[in-house]
Amino acid sequence: MAPAADTRLARAAALVGGARRLVVLTGAGISTESGIPDFRSPGGIWTRYDPRQLTFDRFCASAETRRLYWEMGNDLFPALRDAHPNTGHRVLAALERRGGLLRIVTQNVDGLHQKAGSSPGVMIEIHGTALQVGCLACGARQDRGPVQARFAAGEQDPRCACGGLLKPATISFGQAMPERETAQAAADAAASDVFLVIGSSLEVYPAAGLPRVAVDNGAALVIVNREPTPYDADADLVLRGSAGETLGAIAAQLGLSLSDA
């Protein structure tokens, strides 16, 4: 590794290791290494389904739209259900065990942080989770597997026991963001002393606005991403590369053990 890269990694490790209120924002780039495709990349789900046809209002109003949602789930859900966390996820779980990690805000819906050992209390799944379904009438949640199996067996419009519409517990286009989680994420960003972005293009709001909140309140900003982001000029440090390899190198500098994750 080039000396300049060594220096940047050492600086990143010093910032992350010295944080007392570390807030982490993760995007699709941390999960692609677990075999989960980025929805927006070539070959991603939005190249096969038109998101304009799958808005929240259409889901509520149209049985055909609901059928398309569950059909998309036949493609997507098994990959999410069976995916395994990678080094990046395990490093963040190890940072929580070490202490100083205030929050992980994830734009991902795959549950891999929890599989890696991150506790539910430290997580904000700001776009929801694809591993559960919720009833739009009574609010009850349940595991997605049995409901997806009902669709695969021929039930085109699965319903809750109360008769309400069942929907994957993700935030759809046109659906209101969860107010409590969004407000908590902003408050945590404002309270952070180091804000670490991993694998996010920082183009999808409101999550993309969190680094600005952090920087405006005095936090150091560290970005780990393969491609440039709109916040690179505001960052104290930008590390260009894969999430797993980069976080693994930071973990090695900090002497973190990943064996318990």
Residues marked as catalytic? 127
Backbone angles phi, psi at 215, to 5 degrees: -65, -40
Angle at 113 between CA 108 and CA 117, to 5 degrees: 170
Helices (H), the chain: 3-18, 56-61, 63-82, 87-98, 112-116, 144-152, 179-191, 210-216, 243-254
Distance CA 49, CA 72 (A): 8
CA count, 13 A, side-chain hemisphere, 246: 26
Eight-state DSSP code of residue 225? E
> For helices 243-254 and 87-98, what crossing angle results, to 10°?
30
Distance CA 52, CA 174 (A): 10
Choose among 219, 237, 238, 213: nearest CA to 228. 238
- Residue pair 117/87 in contact (Cβ under 8 Å)? The answer is no
